Amino acid sequence: KTLSELPHPSGRVPLLGDIRSVDRHRPTQHEAHLARELGPIFQRLLLRDRLVVVGGAKLAKETLDEQSWGRVLVGPLAKLREIVTSGLFTARSSDPLWGQARRILTPGFSQAAMRAYHHAMQTVADDLAVKWKEDPDVDVHSDMTAATLEIIGRAGFSTPMGLLGDHAAASQGTDAFVAALSRVLAWASESTNDLPVIGPIREVFAAPGIRRDVNYVRGFVDDIIERRQKDSSVENDDLLGLMLTTRDTETGELLPVENVRDQVLTFLAAGHETTAALLEVALYHLAADPSVGDLIVAEELSDGAALDYDEVVRLRRIKALINECLRLCPPAPGFFRIARSDQELGGYLVPAGRAVFVLSLAAQRDPAVWGADADEFRADRFLGKRLTASSPEFFAPWGTGPRSCIGRQFAIHETTLLTGALLSKYRLTLDKPVELRLRERATLRPEPFRIVATPRGRTR
Ligand code: HEM
């Protein structure tokens, strides 16, 4: 069967297509809903653009085969490319600079590197714990934004961002940077869901504001790079140092400085939004059911003591909890795959060169492989579970293949450390019963909510 025969949402309009079935603000959540209704593979047609969505675990798993499928830059990624052309995330795989940067940066994400970053991550956890002691009424969104940016700043660039701790007074325009970056990401993801007619019109009105934001964000990044180039006292063993001083083993070349700028921006953006989203989901669940945290503390965390690198690596209950958060609320809710040659997927012919959208958000909740309680948050689901390429479960929150997340171990170490450090000191509760609602701005991230952090030992 051809792709035009795929199931589609009801209420198709002549010419315009499935226009009634577009949710500009929560597109992937709406698509996950449609996947339940329409099955493991469906289409949504807008004018002549047909989006093919793969939401069933079995079919989604088939697209992970690198022989038959590859990565492709469409959707929000293509939009982001207009701003960050040659960063790791947005560069084409065929661009020699992508391979060069990936080779230069890979040691920056090794186990040895994580050991080196541990201390910087720990200082952020300490700063946050002090902040919560002074004010136990926690705005989770703003604190996780601050914590993740501080971590990438301090660990990756040896540059405190001025958002937490002693450095907070000396904020260097980071708040304005966060606001501008957030608007740019919103622009990239929302304009992808515009109708081909409306898009260009909206673009004209948004353009001056977005251009201003992009300039601000670039200036902020240039300052970080310039400060480093002038400061010879910093050792060049962090990510920024690697980028500025390491020669590629294959080409013998240094990265061009415009490329370093794109990489720094990529790391600031890719490294904070996603990780903050994950931490927020974890804190939500811990606060919604404090008994989950109590069990973790009883089993894995001796009261309040600082965790060293090896202890963090051994926190298996927290890792299971984090995986469950990634399964239910993947910060990157899906990714595009392109057929390298004609492929058959679920009985439909996907011609060579055709892209499909693999919706992790749906496939990671597919009851056919995750069970009847697939939609439920069960922190111990991953305890003792080892997923391999041949497991039936689809679980790809870090993407797949050579373009999968380079920051995976960094993100796992920082979220495990922060969750462990905070949980060992505080019992968390929601300040009022709220549902977890996710908004979409390139990432899937909780809407702001508050928790109350009560020091352990003085639990109400
Ligand atoms: C790529 C998820 C944290 C840097 C990706 C991809 C996913 C992902 C799904 C592949 C996207 C695609 O194929 O289109 C996540 C999640 C994170 C996280 C869920 C946190 C919970 C981080 C961190 C960093 C980072 C902390 C940096 C410090 C990158 C980069 C790429 C990438 C540079 C592009 C790699 C390439 O194409 O060579 N990430 N990420 N990410 N991520 Fe992450």
Q: 399 C-alpha to center of ligand 1: Å?
A: 8
Helical segments of 56-135, H only: 57-62, 76-81, 96-105, 111-134
Q: How many CB atoms lie within 10 A of CB 127?
A: 21
* CB-CB contact of 296 with 317 (8 Å): yes
- Looking at this protein, which amino acid is placed at residue 434? V
Burial of 11 (0-12, 13-18, 19+ CB in 10 A): exposed
Q: Is 335 in the pocket of ligand 1 (CB under 6 A)?
A: yes
Phi, psi for residue 363 in degrees, rounded to 5: -65, -25
Residue 460: its pLDDT value, please?
A: 39
Q: 76 C-alpha to center of ligand 1: Å?
A: 14
Q: Is 88 in the pocket of ligand 1 (CB under 6 A)?
A: yes
Determine if the pTM surpasses 0.80. Answer: yes
Residue 315: its pLDDT value, please?
A: 94
Q: 303 C-alpha to center of ligand 1: Å?
A: 33
Whose alpha carbon is nearest atom 21 of ligand 1?
275
Q: Is 404 in the pocket of ligand 1 (CB under 6 A)?
A: yes
DSSP code for 153: I
Q: Is 272 in the pocket of ligand 1 (CB under 6 A)?
A: no
Whose alpha carbon is nearest atom 17 of ligand 1?
274
Q: How many CB atoms lie within 10 A of CB 229?
A: 12
Q: Is 278 in the pocket of ligand 1 (CB under 6 A)?
A: yes
How far out from the chain centre does Cα 380 lie?
22
Residue 206: its pLDDT value, please?
A: 58
Over its length of 460 residues, how does the chain's per-residue pLDDT go in tens digits? 999 999 999 988 888 888 888 887 888 999 999 999 999 999 998 888 899 999 999 999 999 999 999 998 877 677 777 777 788 888 888 889 899 989 988 988 888 889 989 999 999 999 999 999 999 999 999 999 999 999 999 988 888 888 888 766 555 678 888 888 888 877 776 665 555 555 555 555 556 678 888 888 888 889 888 988 888 777 777 888 888 888 888 988 888 988 889 888 888 888 888 999 999 999 999 999 999 999 999 998 865 678 899 999 999 999 999 999 999 999 999 999 999 999 999 999 999 999 999 999 999 999 999 999 999 999 899 998 888 888 999 999 999 998 999 999 999 999 999 999 999 999 999 988 899 999 987 789 999 999 999 999 754 3
Whose alpha carbon is nearest atom 41 of ligand 1?
407
Residue showing tokens 């009424």: 137
* CB-CB contact of 238 with 157 (8 Å): yes
Q: Is 267 in the pocket of ligand 1 (CB under 6 A)?
A: yes
H-helix or E-strand containing 299? helix 290-300
* CB-CB contact of 376 with 65 (8 Å): no
Residue 442: its pLDDT value, please?
A: 75
- 335 forms beta bridges with 358
Q: Is 117 in the pocket of ligand 1 (CB under 6 A)?
A: no
Residue 381: its pLDDT value, please?
A: 93
**Which own/partner pairs from 251-260 qualify as long-range (CB within 8 Å, at least 24 positions apart)?**
251/96, 251/100, 253/100, 255/97, 255/100, 255/101, 255/104, 256/97, 257/225, 258/86, 259/86, 259/87, 259/97, 259/101, 260/225
Whose alpha carbon is nearest atom 26 of ligand 1?
271
Q: 335 C-alpha to center of ligand 1: Å?
A: 11
Which of 77, 405, 410, when mutated, tests ligand 1's pocket best, judged by the most ligand atoms within 8 Å of its CB? 405
Burial of 352 (0-12, 13-18, 19+ CB in 10 A): exposed
Q: Is 101 in the pocket of ligand 1 (CB under 6 A)?
A: no
